[in-house]
Amino acid sequence: MNWGQLLFEKASSKQLGHFYILETSLSPDVAYEKLLEFVTQFIKDYFQKIDHLKQNSSNLLDYPDVFMMGNLPEYQDKKDPNYVVSDAEAMIRYFEFRPVQGSRKFAVIPEGHKLTNQVANKCLKLLEEPNGNSTIFLLNPRGQKLLDTIQSRGLTLRISFQKEKTANSNWTSFIQKSATQNLADFIESNQKTDFDVAHWTQEWATWEAEHPEDINAKQAVIDWLKNLQELETFHQPSATKWTLFYGVLKLYVFNRLSR
């Protein structure tokens, strides 16, 4: 039985918790979509199978009894911002009213790493004390350590997903292209994409887990992760990260494409 089924059983027996933190081992770009998909499906099932509502939409914002943090104009107008205090205030106001259609109100915080101390402090009472029939899902797609005040108030669920068949093909395409490039072309092309070094590092780690035959490469992943963490800690430029990443790929990956 998976977490979706267990949560639904809890909901059916009126034992659903108030605050859940959802994580997964998938890479961050995939994790966000999969965790949001998981929560969306659970909430839809709740409304349809428990509250017997006829509404069926793939967009949670179409449901009046669902609040999505980060949906305010002052948040959306910024580029990759942290949540703002007005987001927290809006969620608090939202829970002050009874459900419009169903028996329970839901809120989703899609990216937990964007909760600043100021925003978190505004939410603490709400996260700790249920306001009527309510459940809050906080998604942590990056798997980062959350603020202690947040982590201690929620029940953390680590959601497992079947690996997407296209995941390896994306990594393979990246490596095949990279192996044909010199260093300058590699840096230039990758700095223009939406995927940073950390993304492809995670893809590499996942790929190595499926290819246990090369012990040296596995150790290289571990060493590179430590190196990358230091580079990010000291705010090294992206070109430096791509340069060093190209070096380790050339040593441990490019020559294994035909295996």
In DSSP notation, 108-163 reads: EES-GGG--HHHHHHHHHHHHS--SSEEEEEE-TT-PPPPHHHHTTSEEEE---PP
| 75 three-state secondary structure | helix
* pLDDT at residue 166 in the model: 47
Using the structure block, give the residue that is written with the tokens 């499906």. Answer: 41
| 22 three-state secondary structure | strand
Strands (E) across the chain are located at 19-23, 66-68, 105-109, 134-139, 155-158
* pLDDT at residue 75 in the model: 54
- CA nearest to 65, candidates 9, 32, 106, 36: 106
Taking residue 83's Cβ as centre, other Cβ atoms within 10 Å add up to: 24
C-alpha–C-alpha distance, residues 248 and 217, integer Å: 9
Fold entry, domain 3-158: Rossmann fold (3.40.50)
* pLDDT at residue 164 in the model: 47
- Tokens read off for 83: 């949540």
- CB-neighbour burial class of residue 46 (10 A; exposed 0-12, middle 13-18, buried 19+): buried
Average pLDDT per block of 10 residues along the chain, 259 residues long = 81 92 86 93 94 86 92 60 90 94 94 92 91 93 89 88 59 92 96 88 81 80 86 88 96 81
pTM above 0.95, yes or no: no
C-alpha–C-alpha distance, residues 63 and 50, integer Å: 15
C-alpha–C-alpha distance, residues 172 and 191, integer Å: 19
C-alpha–C-alpha distance, residues 72 and 86, integer Å: 8
Helix (H) or strand (E) holding 247: helix 238-252
User: Domain boundaries in the chain?
Assistant: 3-158, 166-254
| 11 three-state secondary structure | helix
* pLDDT at residue 225 in the model: 85
168-222-238 Cα angle (round to 5) = 75
- Tokens read off for 87: 């987001």
* pLDDT at residue 71 in the model: 76
Q: Which residues contact 5 (CB under 8 A, 6 or more apart)?
A: none
